[in-house]
């Protein structure tokens, strides 16, 4: 365990003005509070807070952060309290320790709904002081470095949590070194065989081809010396997990994976960065599509660097990052560079990002109440790299890798995204699902009256675009459901000889505990409520409330006990419609709708007419009715139509294509229904569907019995 004087020495190296007494008091207090506590490894527990503090000294953080690291487990694991830490070490330290404690208590490995809520809490804690998450990340890093002492099942859980949450968060904050180490430590637990395999292959490669890193480093230095450029050159092999991820993404074996080495060139000035780039590209062939200039277009976390990949010695691909010393410091520390100290004063690095602005840019896209959406947006933003596109006026728009013109449109304004009908990239009309590339100019074409389509959800990648599209679709669905619900209510009320007045609907809404009649109608339209339930709630004495279904063979009143009936196939009458019977010798009574044209044949035979009507009450869905539908000829349309009918609790008993054209289909669908209310429900739902051009009830006099 590092003793207090060694820890102070580490801080003193970058901050000679450090408050040594404060650190000594915090060290002594933490050690006293954790006295007698042991880690699972058997070591004194206090060695962990000290190791966390030492990690933070590598980032040259201020005294408050170092003291917080020493005390970060005291409130949770000892008899210490917030008020006591505030009294001994000040309000700033007490709030930081409390913030780390709250983060520690979040159960981030739970189910996804809770995980989304935990992300919200995590961002809330970060928003107060970002140093809270810096201490937490250092805490997680040391725990992962010493994870072997934990039981195997806990190692796996912690490693998944690290890979899913903490490593991407470190990367998003610009602390790439920490992200890579966290990923590799988790990879060691989750897939040790794959990691060991990659390490063995590295050893074999080095034995076969020598020290490639040293050779390429010398090659780069020679080129820079020839151009008279002063710069430091460093090379390294990429981490096993980074290589494994590339193998998985590209579907290639290790032997075919070329860019497994990375090199950094640290220059004196920004101008030298571009001179280095020129020297490297003159000497080696650049790999197309692998050049990024984050100096002219920095990342939101302050990262600046020129990145290029070239075919180096023996055709091996190598990645080269070129940046100045100040850019390098921010690239290593990320957002943490804001608190960095040098020679006792806060470092005045012009590239360090204001943490408050960075956090605002990270969270502005997460303004949604849906847990699943929120979690999806968080993960999208965590893992994203960026592309930079230009507006027609030359403004720069930052987007995640894989973004489309629709993402670009929503990044400008929700109104632009909602009304988007097309896009031009570099002056050429392109489909909306086109993936944008760095440096492209994008122009959005809009049209009044355009609304987001459901298919757009699968096209966009940004959280902001997905949230806006879903919100618009929900609003559009609500309007459609209200319209459908109003028609269903009208039919149900008229069936009892009543009218669906605004007052009646408001009363019904109150009965069901709903806020308004519009909410009642929306639920009727979305099938969350049945129109029958609404009328029964208002008029129980008129409606059938027994819940017993009427026997379909005895559904008609007016027949003698020994007479049977059959529904006429020409008009297919259903309960609730006015009917009349025609007697046939040996065939019983055929029931027709009162407006069936076939009845004209029997005008001169009044003795065959039987006055009939349907039983009032709940009929089973066994009454077959035909619909003639004209629908758009497009992928998935027929499936959606069938699903829509099923959602209305109606069964399709037969389906026949009447006509097929390039643009549309005409088909006859036979559906089993309960009654006339059910009939209107299905027809109204189909009429409201945008892919249905026309619908009519099918009646065929030629099918008369």
Query: Which amino acids are annotated catalytic?
Result: 76-77
Would you call 388 helix, strand, or coil by DSSP?
strand
Nearest partner of 390 among 296, 291, 271, 277, judged by Cα: 296
Based on the number of CB atoms within 10 Å of its own CB, is 666 exposed (0-12), middle (13-18) or buried (19 or more)? Answer: middle
Would you call 617 helix, strand, or coil by DSSP?
coil
100 Cα distance to chain centroid: 27
DSSP letter string over 284-332?
A: SEEPTT--EETTTS--TT----EEEEEE-GGG-EEEEEEEEHHHHHHHH
Joined together, the tokens standing for residue 669 give 């669908």
Q: Are 76 and 103 in contact (CB under 8 A)?
A: no
Joined together, the tokens standing for residue 533 give 């339930």
Nearest partner of 142 among 181, 174, 195, judged by Cα: 181
CA angle in degrees (0–180, nearest 5) for 93-95-96: 65
Q: Are 556 and 593 in contact (CB under 8 A)?
A: no
Question: Please, which contacts does 217-221 make with residues 24 or more away whose CB atoms are closer than 8 Å?
Answer: 217/263, 219/283, 219/312, 219/313, 220/263, 220/265, 220/280, 220/320
CA distance 136 to 134: 5
Q: Are 389 and 440 in contact (CB under 8 A)?
A: yes
Q: Are 589 and 652 in contact (CB under 8 A)?
A: no
Q: Are 47 and 88 in contact (CB under 8 A)?
A: no
Number of H helices, E strands in the chain: 27, 22
Instruction: State the CB neighbour count (10 A cutoff) for residue 502.
Output: 8
CA distance 137 to 178: 8
């Amino acid at each position: 365990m590092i003793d207090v004087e060694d820890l102070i020495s580490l801080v003193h190296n970058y901050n000679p003005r450090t408050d040594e007494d404060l650190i000594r008091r915090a060290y002594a207090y933490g050690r006293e509070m954790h006295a007698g506590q042991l880690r699972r490894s058997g070591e004194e527990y206090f060695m962990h807070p000290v190791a966390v503090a030492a990690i933070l000294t590598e980032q040259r953080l201020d005294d408050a952060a170092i003291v917080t690291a020493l005390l970060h487990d005291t409130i949770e694991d000892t008899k210490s309290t917030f008020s006591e830490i505030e009294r001994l070490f000040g309000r700033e330290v007490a709030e930081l320790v409390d913030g780390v404690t709250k983060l520690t208590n979040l159960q981030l490995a739970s189910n996804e709904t809770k995980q989304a809520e935990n992300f919200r809490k995590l961002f809330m804690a970060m928003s107060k002081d970002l140093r809270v998450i810096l201490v937490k990340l250092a805490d997680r890093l040391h725990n992962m470095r010493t994870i072997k002492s934990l039981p195997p099942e806990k190692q796996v859980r912690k490693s998944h949590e690290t890979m899913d949450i903490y490593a991407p968060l470190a990367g998003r904050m610009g602390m790439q070194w920490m992200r890579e180490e966290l990923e590799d430590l988790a990879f060691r637990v989750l897939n040790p065989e794959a990691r060991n395999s990659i390490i063995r292959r590295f050893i074999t490669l080095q034995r076969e081809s020598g020290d490639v890193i040293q050779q390429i480093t010398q090659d780069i230095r020679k080129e820079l010396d020839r151009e008279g450029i002063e710069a430091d050159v460093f090379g390294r092999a990429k981490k096993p997990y980074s290589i494994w991820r590339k193998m998985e993404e590209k579907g290639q074996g290790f032997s075919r994976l070329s860019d497994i080495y990375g090199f950094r060139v640290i220059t004196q000035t920004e101008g030298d960065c571009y001179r280095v780039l020129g020297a490297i590209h003159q000497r080696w062939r650049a790999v197309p599509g692998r050049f990024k200039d984050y100096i002219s277009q920095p990342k939101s976390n302050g990262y600046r660097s020129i990145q290029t990949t070239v075919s180096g010695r023996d055709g091996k691909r190598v990645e080269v990052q070129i940046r100045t010393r100040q850019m390098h410091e921010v690239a290593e520390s990320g957002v943490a560079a804001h608190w960095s100290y040098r020679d006792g004063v806060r470092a005045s690095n012009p590239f360090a990002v204001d943490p408050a602005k960075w956090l605002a840019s990270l969270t502005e896209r997460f303004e949604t109440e849906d847990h699943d959406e929120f979690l999806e947006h968080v993960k999208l933003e965590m893992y994203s790299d960026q592309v930079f596109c230009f507006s027609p006026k030359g403004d720069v728009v930052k987007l995640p890798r894989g973004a489309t013109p629709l993402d670009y449109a929503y990044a400008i304004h929700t109104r632009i995204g909602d009304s988007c009908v097309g896009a031009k990239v570099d002056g050429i009309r392109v489909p909306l699902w086109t993936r944008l590339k760095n440096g492209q100019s994008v122009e959005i074409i809009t049209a009044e009256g355009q609304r987001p389509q459901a298919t757009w959800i699968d096209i966009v990648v940004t959280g902001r675009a997905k949230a806006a599209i879903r919100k618009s679709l929900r609003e559009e669905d609500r309007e459609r459901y209200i319209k459908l619900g109003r028609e269903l209510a009208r039919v149900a009320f008229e069936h009892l000889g009543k009218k669906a007045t605004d007052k009646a609907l408001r009363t019904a809404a109150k009965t069901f505990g709903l806020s308004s009649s519009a909410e009642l109608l929306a639920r009727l339209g979305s099938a969350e409520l049945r129109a029958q339930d609404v009328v029964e709630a208002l008029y129980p004495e008129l409606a059938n409330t027994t819940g017993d279904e009427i026997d379909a063979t005895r559904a008609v009143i007016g027949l003698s006990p020994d007479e049977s009936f059959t529904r006429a196939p020409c008009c297919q009458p259903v309960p609730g419609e006015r009917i009349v019977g025609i007697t046939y010798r040996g065939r019983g009574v055929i029931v027709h709708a009162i407006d069936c044209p076939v009845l004209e044949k029997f005008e001169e035979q009044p003795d065959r007419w039987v006055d009939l009507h349907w039983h009032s009450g709940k009929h089973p869905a066994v009454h077959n009715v035909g619909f003639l539908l004209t629908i758009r000829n497009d992928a998935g349309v027929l499936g959606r139509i069938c699903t829509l009918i099923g959602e209305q609790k109606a069964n399709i008993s037969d389906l026949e294509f009447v006509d097929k054209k390039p643009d549309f289909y005409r088909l006859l669908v036979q559906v089993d229904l309960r009654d006339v209310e059910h009939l209107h429900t299905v027809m109204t739902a189909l009429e409201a569907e945008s892919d249905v051009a026309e619908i009519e009830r099918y009646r065929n006099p030629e099918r008369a019995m």
